[in-house]
Amino acid sequence: MSGLISVIIGLAVIAAVAWGLRFIGRATTGNSPRFRDMTFAVAFGYVVAAIAVAAVIYAFAQSYSSDPIVANTYFFVWILIVAFIFFAVVAFVFRLAGRLIGTSGSRKLFRQMPLTASFGIITIIVYAFVAIFAAWLAPYAQDSYVGGVNIAPGGNIDTGGDPAFLLGTDKRGGDILSRVIYGAQNTVGIAFITTLLAFFLGGTLGFLAAIAGGWVDQALSRAIDVLMAIPSLIFALLLMTIALLWAEGDPTFITMSMIFIIAVIDSTRVFRLARAVGSGIVVMDYIEAARLRGEGFGYVMFREILPNATAPLLAEFGLRFCFVFLTIASLSFLGVGIQAPLADWGSMVRDGANYIQNLQIVGQDWVREADEETLAMLNIDKLVRQASLPLIPAAAIALLTVAVNFVVDWMLHRSSGLKS
């Protein structure tokens, strides 16, 4: 309960400081408009932001601590901050370059682009680059177990690292950096293929329902309704059980059936959209003209409807990709997704999960006050070494989905011209 109370006290303190900030601001600047018109929420926001910045700087400083336990504990935060600054700077430079170089059309595009969208685009480009060239970028193969086990990340020998393994090694001795890089290829690549398959299935059926109408439309729509009535993760897990029984331990079969299962489940959502968009287009005059010309089914579907439905489908593709990607990551995390010889982020998180639980011991008061000898006996140093192990792949997943969401947000904003 003490945790809850301290959270409430913390919020109360922030509120008090915010009120004080506004009051002092008004008093010292002689009621300048900046402070006079400041709402309480804005003052509160400033205080929270200041605390957040201070916490980030504190954590960054902690990662350079001479105490290896502390340094290793905060290593993940260090990676997060450095990656964030790196991507933000690159995004800014990317947008600046786009504004100066290129045709007038592309320059205009970049001028209107918000920083979040440019952040998203550059992140996606980096991921795609890493995924395609994984074999050249990774220092080791994904299934080779090299060097010692449980080497700390950071490459600093003082904190238990090894310069040959920048992000350390896992409990089987696999190089984490290589596995993260190959994970980009496997996890992102498989998610991409699955989304393409889902769009092919759902899009074709949706357009078919829209063009044919009548009983075809009714039968397809009701069948899809039933499939959508089962929560997707639960349905995926049920079907994966069956796939596991069929596979009899064959990892390729499990991965392939996972792709197919998720594609089918997600195609139901694509079907809904494709049907809705398609039935709006089918009633247009040019479709009627094409039909009167005697064009076939396929021509109407792919040459008349598809080009006119590209914009909403493309935005949906981004969102679907995120869902598929997260579902695959969740399944792999639960142990029934992408299988062992392939390195992937979801199962890396699961493999490393116990390191976080181990780390919990460090926070205990008696450990903080214990002498060197006890610490050595407990092997604390080793315990905390790899807390960042599950967090790096988890953050890699989160970063990509956030990036895709930023880009989709911007695309929707552009295509509809919608404001807030």
Partner 1 sequence: MGSILNIILQRLALGGLTLFIVSLVIFAAVSSLPGSFADAILGQAATPQAVAAMEEALGLDKPAVTRYFDWLFKAVQGDFGTSLSQANFASFAGSVADTGVTVADTLAPRFANTMFLAGLTAAIAVPVAVTLGVLAALYRNSIFDRVTNIFTLSSISSPEFFMAYILILFFSVLNPFLPSLSEIYNGMPFGERLENTLLPALTLTLIVTAHMMRMTRAAIINLLASPYIEMARLKGMSPLRVIVKHALPNALAPIVNVIALNLAYLITGVVVIEVVFVYPGIGQLFVDSVKTRDIPVVQACCLVFAAAYILLNLIADVLSIISNPRLRHPK
Residues that bind partner 1 in the complex, under the rule CB under 8 A: 1-4, 6-7, 39, 41-42, 44-46, 48-49, 73, 76, 116, 225-227, 229-235, 237-242, 244-246, 322, 326, 329-330, 333-336, 349, 353, 356-357, 359-360, 362-364, 387, 390-391, 394-395, 397-398, 401-402, 404-406, 409, 420
CB closer to partner 1 out of 50 and 146 = 50
DSSP state of 157: G
Q: Which single residue is written with the structure tokens 């499939």?
A: 227
Question: Which of 238, 228, 241, 298 is closest to 267 using CA atoms?
Answer: 228
Q: How far apart are CA 341 and CA 144, in angstroms?
A: 9
Torsion from C-alpha of 83, 399, 360, 56, nearest 10 degrees: 40
CB closer to partner 1 out of 22 and 305 = 22
- Check: CB of residue 237 under 8 Å from CB of residue 257: no
Output the smallest distance, CB 277 to partner 1, in A.
Answer: 22
Output the smallest distance, CB 235 to partner 1, in A.
Answer: 8
Output the smallest distance, CB 300 to partner 1, in A.
Answer: 32
- 160: number of Cβ within 10 Å: 21
Output the smallest distance, CB 295 to partner 1, in A.
Answer: 37
CB closer to partner 1 out of 45 and 341 = 45
CB closer to partner 1 out of 278 and 390 = 390
CB closer to partner 1 out of 101 and 115 = 115
- Check: CB of residue 194 under 8 Å from CB of residue 328: yes
CB closer to partner 1 out of 301 and 362 = 362
Output the smallest distance, CB 157 to partner 1, in A.
Answer: 25
Q: What distance lies between CA 345 and its chain's CA centroid?
A: 11
- Check: CB of residue 87 under 8 Å from CB of residue 123: yes
- 173: number of Cβ within 10 Å: 15
Output the smallest distance, CB 308 to partner 1, in A.
Answer: 28
- 225: number of Cβ within 10 Å: 11
